[in-house]
Every structure is written in structure tokens, then in C-alpha cells.
Amino acid sequence: PGKMDGSSGPRKRGEVVTVKLKLPQAGMLVYRVQRWKHKAHDHQHQLSQESSGPRLPALSIPRLREMLLLLQSNFAEIEEAVASKEATGPHGGGPRRRPETEVQAAKVAAESALLSETHIRDLVDAVPDRFRHHKWTLLYSTDRDGISLHTLYRHAGKTAPTLLVVKDMRGGIFGVFATDPWEARDKFYGTGETFVFQLEPQINIYHWNQKGNTNAKRNDYFMYSTEECIAVGGGGHFALWLDEDLLYGNSAASETFDNECLSPSKVFQILSIEVWGLHD
């Protein structure tokens, strides 16, 4: 086509050009320019959507706070689950134990006439933390050393803490974790870490019951031993009492440990006794 403005020579980019058009030509040009502008706008909108991705719905401040609290709650549950997993063994179901504890449980069970590996694990979990990885030594056994309270004092009178375990003729297994050495004192002694336990027919651990303790009245009847007997607990009844010949005993509810009767019957005949010392 010819030059519409009557000028000659090439045009530079960006140069303003005055174009003189007849009316039909001008109308067509306006139509084409408007159509081009609409297409350019649609293309620009499409590119904007593709680059920015899907738009998120607007959230109010209360909704954002609600979502933040939910995330914090989820994180707390995750941390609790991780802590629980770290505190349990690979298969769960109980506290994680050191390999040497498992080895010792098997060794003690092999030496003991009364305790199984399960009993030993239950007792390890019950003793104060600082004693849980101590070694166990059999200080006294009626099967090995004879039936005598004086012999028990002689073998176990210099070691603490100890686990005194009793088995009666009806198959009950029970005893006491003693914080002080066993010796004839004719008075109550020991500390609040003393506890009594039942292993058979079921496991029960009874720690010191401090309800109602005041400066004027304190239920600290932990250990009592003389030439004639051994007793644990008080406040009306002994939790455990053994005679000087280690042939008979009795058990009842005591205020000291808020325990039930440890043996299958309140009065029982002793089959066997073992005293285990815990030392590092």
C-alpha cells in the first residue's frame, strides 16, 4: 500500500505518525484496535493466573488464630508421642530398660527360688530411680542359710537398701523394699522411700501414704525389728509381720502404706524368704 501521510522514507520505531484516513477506513481501524486491546487484556489475565497459582480464600483474624491453636495442639501431641516412644522399648508396653537390666533380671531369676524375670522388672520399676540400675546380690535365703531371724540379721544387717521377699504356703509372694539395714533396734526406723509390695497372685505396689500427716501427727512407721520379730507399717495394724523363727507371719491393712492384705490370708505359714541387696 502507498504512504498514507504522503511522506517518504522509512519510519523510526517510536516515531509519532500522523495518519489521515477516510471515514470508513477510520471506523475499521478503531474496531481492530479495540479487539486487539480485549485480546491483550485476556492474555494478560491468563498469564497472571498461571504465574500466581490458585488463589487462597481470604481468612479472618479469628480464623487464623483458630488454625494456629490447632497447629500448636497437633505439635504438642506429636512431641508427646515422640517422648512416649523414646520412653518405651521397641515394642512399647513399658519403660525402656537398659540391656544390662534385662541381663541382670535373667541372672537374678536363675538364682532366685521365688522371683521370675517379670517380678524383677516390676520391682526395678518400683524402686527409687537412683537404685534402678544397681546390682542385686542374694544376702540371705532360708533355703540356703537356714530358718533364723538372727541369721537374717547377720547376713543382711550391713546392707541397704534391700528387698525382703516372702513366699507363703498358698503361693502368695510379697514383701518390702527396706531403705535401712535390718537389725534389732526395738523401735521404728527407715524412710519414706520404704514400700510394701505384692507379686502373686497379682502385682501391687504400696508406697508411703502421706495423707493426714502433720507436724503433730506423722505416720512414719516404716521398719520395726527386734530379737523376736520383723514388722513393717503401722497405724493400727502391721502391713507385714514375721516371727523370730520365720515360720509364721501375718498381713493386714496399714495406715502407713494404705495397703490391702499382702498375703492370700491374713495369717500365713512361710515357705521361703529371700533378702536381696542392691548396690552400685
**For the ranges 16-20, 38-42, 51-55, 61-65, which has the lowest average pLDDT?**
16-20
Task: Name which residue leads in pLDDT, 87 or 209.
Answer: 209
The confidence score (pLDDT) of residue 104 equals 85
269 is written with which cell numbers? 505359714
Q: Is 235 left (phi over 0), alpha (psi -120 to 50) or beta?
A: left
Residue 2 belongs to a domain = no
- Cell 500365713 sits at which residue? 268
The confidence score (pLDDT) of residue 36 equals 47
- Give the residue from 43, 75, 96 where a domain finishes: 96
The confidence score (pLDDT) of residue 175 equals 99
Q: 129 with 86, same domain? A: no
Calculate the CA dihedral of residues 129, 133, 135, 140 and round it to 10 degrees: 30
Q: 111 with 209, same domain? A: yes
Q: 198 with 262, same domain? A: yes
Residue 13 belongs to a domain = no
**Mean pLDDT, rounded, for 201-220:** 82
Q: Is the pLDDT of residue 21 over 60?
A: no
- Helix (H/G/I), strand (E/B), else coil: 81: helix
Half-sphere exposure in the Cβ direction for 129 (13 Å, CA)? 1
Q: 90 with 115, same domain? A: no
The confidence score (pLDDT) of residue 47 equals 47
For the chain, count helices (H), then strands (E).
6, 11
Q: 119 with 209, same domain? A: yes
Q: Could you read off the pLDDT of 53-102 as tens digits, one per residue?
A: 555 556 678 777 777 777 776 666 666 655 555 444 444 445 555 666 78
Q: 82 with 107, same domain? A: no
The confidence score (pLDDT) of residue 62 equals 77
Computed over every residue of the chain, the mean pLDDT equals 81
Quickly count: other Cβ atoms within 10 Å of residue 207's Cβ: 17
The confidence score (pLDDT) of residue 250 equals 98
Residue 3 belongs to a domain = no
Q: Which domain holds residue 112?
A: 99-279
- Rounded to two decimals, the pTM is 0.66
Q: 130 with 229, same domain? A: yes
Residue 200 belongs to a domain = yes
Q: Count structural domains, the chain.
A: 3
**For the ranges 46-50, 110-114, 151-155, 184-188, which has the lowest average pLDDT?**
46-50
Residue 9 belongs to a domain = no
Q: Is the pLDDT of residue 270 over 60?
A: yes
Residue 208 belongs to a domain = yes
Q: Could you read off the pLDDT of 144-199 as tens digits, one per residue?
A: 999 999 999 999 999 999 999 999 999 999 999 999 999 999 899 999 999 999 99
Q: 206 with 67, same domain? A: no
Most confident of 16-30, 97-111, 174-188, 216-230: 174-188
Q: 68 with 167, same domain? A: no
Query: What band does 105 get if pLDDT is binned at 50, 70 and 90?
Result: very high
Q: 30 with 158, same domain? A: no
Per-residue DSSP letter, 193: T
